[in-house]
Amino acid sequence: MTFPEKKKGCASLPNQNSQTPLGSHATRDNMTRAMAWMILSGISFAFMGATVKLSGDVPLTTKVFFRNLVTMILTASVAFRMHQNPLAATPNLLRLVLRSLFGLMGVGLYFVALNELNLAEASLLNKTSPFFVTVFAVFFLKEKFSRAMIPALALAFVGAVLVIKPRFDMTILPAVAGFASGMFAGLAYTLVRSLKGKESPNRIIFFFSFISTLATLPFLFIFPSSPTGNQWLALIGTGVFAAGGQYGLTFAYHHARASRISVFTYLHVLFSLVVGYLLWNEQPDILSIVGGFLIIAGAVISHRATSRENKGLN
């Protein structure tokens, strides 16, 4: 699939765990507010991952259902409060649906990784999504590829390999799922980029949560479960923290340009490391730690390359 819009400049890092906020930004960046919202987002997404793990043996589709149900209710409420119909006819329906399906696959695979891996390791693998966006944007949006991105992509790939620690047995599957979640998230974010200026952020988020909720609803009956009281709290918490993380990102990108704020999405990994250690005494091994540093180093290089490119275009 290709999209007709053609944009100049190298791909900038979008946010990674669900939908990239869109829309115009203020003339002046307010980094203090942007960082505050980004910190809130990172903490929320870290706790979302924790609640997924705390929900235990609840079926995966049930976890994904509740992750999206709360967000769907919130975004629908925002739309109705603004006297908008989020389901109104649109020429961008196909892209909205594809973005939602790719996002759903990314979330599902991320939850698979969360069930088996350390919280920080699963978060790191999911955070490869910005690098996939860089590649997909070149092919699908015809964006210019900057040579400065080559070392960033190389570092991210090597880092992911160190976190995955390839083995020739079934134990590698959760790590592969985490990496694949980043790829599908990257596809979803690329579609979001193609919708910039065509659909509001709230509608894009609503469509993702709406379609994901509808897609997973039948599985509540196909794979019925009887969650305990604590598991119910974890499922509800998954939805609440997912919504908090998404809206935190939305407001962060509202207060500052993506080229300045996007790299701070990796705070999610730091918070996940802390939460995982406090709740389960999780301590990533040396290969995962080195791999994490390489992925983040790649993100920093990409961020700087993007900033230089943007300055050159202004």
CA atoms of 190 and 88, how far apart (whole Å): 23
Q: What is the pLDDT of residue 306?
A: 72
pLDDT score recorded for residue 50? 97
Structural contact between residues 183 and 129, judged by C-beta atoms closer than 8 angstroms: yes
In a domain, 18, yes or no: no
State mean pLDDT over 153-179: 91
The range of the structural domain enclosing residue 191 comes to 31-313
- Domains in the chain: how many in total? 1
Number of CB atoms found within 10 A of residue 164's CB: 21
Share of the chain above pLDDT 90, in %: 64
Judged against a pLDDT cut of 80, whether residue 308 lies above it is answered with: no
- Give a yes or no: residue 4 inside a domain: no
For residue 313, the model assigns a pLDDT of: 55
Round to whole Å and give the CA distance between 79 and 254: 18
Cβ atoms < 10 Å from Cβ of 7: 14
Residue 269 lies in a domain: yes
Query: Is 17 domain-assigned?
Result: no
Mean pLDDT of 244-269: 83
Give the separation between CA 177 and CA 163, rounded to whole angstroms: 12
**pLDDT over 50 (residue 155):** yes
Is pLDDT above 50 for 8? no
Query: For residue 21, is pLDDT > 80?
Result: no
Q: Residue 16 domain-assigned? A: no
89-128 pLDDT per residue, tens? 999 999 999 999 999 999 999 999 999 999 999 999 999 9
pLDDT at 305: 77
- 3-state SS assignment for residue 17: coil
Closest CA to 13 of 313, 298, 311: 298
Bin 8: left if φ > 0, else alpha if -120 < ψ < 50, else beta: beta
pLDDT at 24 over 60: no
Q: Say if 298 falls within a structural domain.
A: yes
Q: Does residue 234 lie in a domain region?
A: yes
Rounded Cα gap, residues 293 and 106, in angstroms = 23
pLDDT 10s digits, 44-99 = 999 999 999 999 999 999 999 999 999 999 999 999 999 999 999 999 999 999 99
Least confident segment among 122-136, 144-158, 300-314: 300-314
Position 20 in a domain: no
